Chain A
Amino acid sequence: MKNFSGKVLFLDRSDINTDEIIPAKYLTEITKESLKPYLLEDLKLDGFESLRDVEGKTVVITRANFGCGSSREHAPWAFEVNGINLIIGESFARIFRQNMFNCGMMAIELSVRDIDRLFKIFADRETFLEADLEKNLLVIKAEGVEEKISFSISEFDRALVEAGGWVAYADSHY
């Protein structure tokens, strides 16, 4: 299984699309690793600088409809090669969400209220998140603050994460 715990990157906007996550001009790359420097290059978000802000992060917390637009799996791959395997948001576009679990990564949905609270408490601080898949629990910490939020994951999505993705799962089942 991949690592789902570490420093958090907050992206405070809804409808972040896959063209912003990885622009189409980089889709001519045929290795995942070569996408690394281009993650979130075209993200429209005040004060955001992709190379500076992505460095060292493991988890993304964002708003609604994350990953809308193109079907490119290059979007999850660009996160993966930067060490980010967990994205937490209010909601996800279907294909992006499926691509995450198909790669053995996780896209976790929390309520609008929980997401709001996380942004309010942590967005301006250096924040660490630990994902406990046994207890379905997220522990979010910054200096002097700690929040615990439980999350749900379907049996099928968990099987994909445990198998390391859909190819491995499908190959042993069909």
Chain B
Amino acid sequence: MGKTVAEKIFDSHLVDNPSGDINVIRLDAVFCHEITTPVAINDLVVRDKDRVFDASKIKVVIDHVTPAKDSKTAAQGKILREWSRRNHIQDFFDIGRNGVCHAIFPEKGFVRPGYTIIMGDSHTCTHGAFGAFAAGVGTTDLEVGILKGVCAFHYPHTIKIVLNGHMPEGVYAKDVILSVIGRLGVSGATNKVIEFTGSVVDALSMEGRMTLCNMAIEAGGTCGICYPDMTTVAYLWKFIKDEYSDKKAALEDFEKFLPDSDAKYDEVIDFDVSDLEPQVTFGYKPDNVKPVSEMKGIKIDQVYIGSCTNGRIEDLRVAAQVLKGNKISDSIRGIVSPATPEIFSRAMDEGLLKIFMDAGFCLTNPTCGACLGMSNGVLAEGEVCASTTNRNFNGRMGKGGMVHLMSPATAAASAIAGYITNSDRYKSAKRK
């Protein structure tokens, strides 16, 4: 019987099958940040097991609150820093070199097709964009991953989503994934992997694919997966060029993780995006999704552009194109947080940061900060944020605040208007 991507990855990483469909799999990478790792570290110390299964496979970043905002966050950073040092973990990214985990780890070449990855962070599903199996886990799974290099999962079930048609101008990967979540619902993919395929995915950059896979968890999905192709190889080439004779050879190697033509899926969903409008959330669940045109005029107080969903260079380019030559509304606080130092630096070289600043945006260092209401843009009671992030839960960006999720283009246009509205890029495309 044919296999899905996740089934192929599981079968090539199986360590144990303790009972039923439980598969204990070998891990190729364990990613760590300062919010969910310190309790695991402290527990390992208490158990007298302060060691790591393979220092070269553990990648560490301080990203959620950086620079530290108070003594508690400073202590979390300290625990992670000292642990990395005493366990000889080379890939540790501290302030000045740190960025949002799901942006910086792919950028450093730590993700490969066919890899198995866990992290104590639900948006770990992002890395499936490279054809990997990457899943968010809790601190206990993380602790065992650090110590033993294994993790237990149910053998994966998969939903295949085929994205066809032609993406209208002004419509982006964010609009597609919001629409998908609207259709599936917040538990529509629970305990399942989502394979994203079709001509729309083929045409997306790695950045766009990461946006797509990043929000698989908002439908309950364990991991979002895109098939490795020449776009994947080109992105990874600088890291793998010594391992392969040429790009074609690399692709052939990666293609062993493509699904079989007779693979079994729980469900196959065809979705033509040709008529898709830019999307935005309302309410407190990520499946509360509507076209922006139906939400036009909703007043906002803050606009946030950044995060593991939409803080990458392409996102900043699109937002800057919309902002260029414009000022944001006097009533709006605009915050932009490039997701990594490299993205920050490229945005500076391309003149994007100047455009944001001239428009009236505040520019912050790379951090998760405001997305989960920890720092750098927390909302007050009753305030509304137009945000390129991934969750609109009650209190997510601050107690009593409301979050509307949208693409960087819609966020930038809404910053200029002072209320939710479509960007000119979509409007002008529609007039054609």
The chain B residue with its CB closest to the CB of A160 is B152
Q: Contacts A24-B373, A95-B136; is A17 near B148 (CB within 8 Å)?
A: no
User: Do residues A25 and B140 form an inter-chain contact, with CB atoms below 8 A?
Assistant: no
User: Do residues B187 and A102 form an inter-chain contact, with CB atoms below 8 A?
Assistant: no
User: Do residues A19 and B394 form an inter-chain contact, with CB atoms below 8 A?
Assistant: yes
Which residues in chain A, 91-144, are within 8 Å of chain B measured between CB atoms? 91, 93-95, 98-99, 102-103
User: Do residues A64 and B76 form an inter-chain contact, with CB atoms below 8 A?
Assistant: no
The chain A residue with its CB closest to the CB of B375 is A25
Which residues in chain A, 30-45, are within 8 Å of chain B measured between CB atoms? 30, 32, 42, 44
User: Do residues B140 and A166 form an inter-chain contact, with CB atoms below 8 A?
Assistant: yes
- Rounded to whole angstroms, the CA-CA distance of A151 and B120 in the bound complex is 30
User: Do residues B190 and A29 form an inter-chain contact, with CB atoms below 8 A?
Assistant: no
Cβ of A154: which chain B residues have Cβ within 8 Å of it? Answer: 19-20, 22
Q: Contacts A69-B393, A91-B187, A98-B141; is A166 near B152 (CB within 8 Å)?
A: yes
The chain A residue with its CB closest to the CB of B119 is A71
Q: How far is the CB of B288 from chain A (nearest CB, A)?
A: 11
Contact check: which of A32, A94, A173, A174 meets B191 at CB < 8 Å? Answer: A94
- Rounded to whole angstroms, the CA-CA distance of A159 and B22 in the bound complex is 12
Which residues in chain A, 1-55, are within 8 Å of chain B measured between CB atoms? 15, 17, 19-20, 23-25, 27-30, 32, 42, 44
Contact check: which of A20, A71, A76, A174 meets B122 at CB < 8 Å? Answer: A71
Cβ of B396: which chain A residues have Cβ within 8 Å of it? Answer: 19, 24
User: Do residues B395 and A65 form an inter-chain contact, with CB atoms below 8 A?
Assistant: no
User: Do residues B18 and A30 form an inter-chain contact, with CB atoms below 8 A?
Assistant: no
User: Do residues A94 and B39 form an inter-chain contact, with CB atoms below 8 A?
Assistant: no
Q: Contacts A71-B36, A95-B138, A173-B16; is A28 near B120 (CB within 8 Å)?
A: no
Q: How far is the CB of B321 from chain A (nearest CB, A)?
A: 32
Cβ of B404: which chain A residues have Cβ within 8 Å of it? Answer: none
Cβ of B76: which chain A residues have Cβ within 8 Å of it? Answer: 28, 30
Stretch touching chain A among B1-9, B65-73, B102-110: B65-73
User: Do residues B187 and A65 form an inter-chain contact, with CB atoms below 8 A?
Assistant: yes
User: Do residues B374 and A98 form an inter-chain contact, with CB atoms below 8 A?
Assistant: no
Contact check: which of B16, B65, B141 meets A102 at CB < 8 Å? Answer: B141
User: Do residues B24 and A174 form an inter-chain contact, with CB atoms below 8 A?
Assistant: yes
User: Do residues B70 and A28 form an inter-chain contact, with CB atoms below 8 A?
Assistant: yes
- Rounded to whole angstroms, the CA-CA distance of A145 and B405 in the bound complex is 47
Instruction: Say yes or no for B75: interface residue by CB 8 A criterion.
Output: yes
- The chain A residues found within 8 Å of chain B, CB to CB, are 15, 17, 19-20, 23-25, 27-30, 32, 42, 44, 64-65, 68-73, 76, 91, 93-95, 98-99, 102-103, 154-156, 159, 165-167, 170-171, 173-174
17 extra interchain contacts, Cβ-Cβ under 8 A, other than A28-B76, A30-B39, A170-B148?
A23-B395, A24-B373, A25-B373, A27-B35, A28-B73, A65-B186, A65-B220, A70-B122, A70-B391, A73-B39, A73-B138, A73-B139, A159-B18, A167-B140, A171-B147, A173-B16, A174-B148
- The chain B residues found within 8 Å of chain A, CB to CB, are 15-16, 18-20, 22, 24, 35-36, 38-39, 42-43, 47, 49, 64-65, 70, 72-73, 75-76, 79, 120-122, 124, 136-141, 143-144, 147-148, 150, 152, 186-187, 190-191, 220, 222, 284-285, 372-374, 391, 393-396, 399
28 residue pairs bridging A and B, Cβ less than 8 Å apart? A24-B373, A27-B35, A28-B72, A28-B73, A29-B72, A30-B76, A44-B394, A64-B187, A65-B190, A68-B186, A68-B187, A68-B220, A70-B122, A73-B36, A73-B140, A95-B122, A98-B138, A99-B139, A102-B140, A154-B19, A156-B20, A156-B22, A156-B152, A166-B140, A166-B152, A170-B147, A174-B15, A174-B24
- Closest 3 A-B residue pairs measured CB to CB? A73-B138, A99-B138, A102-B140
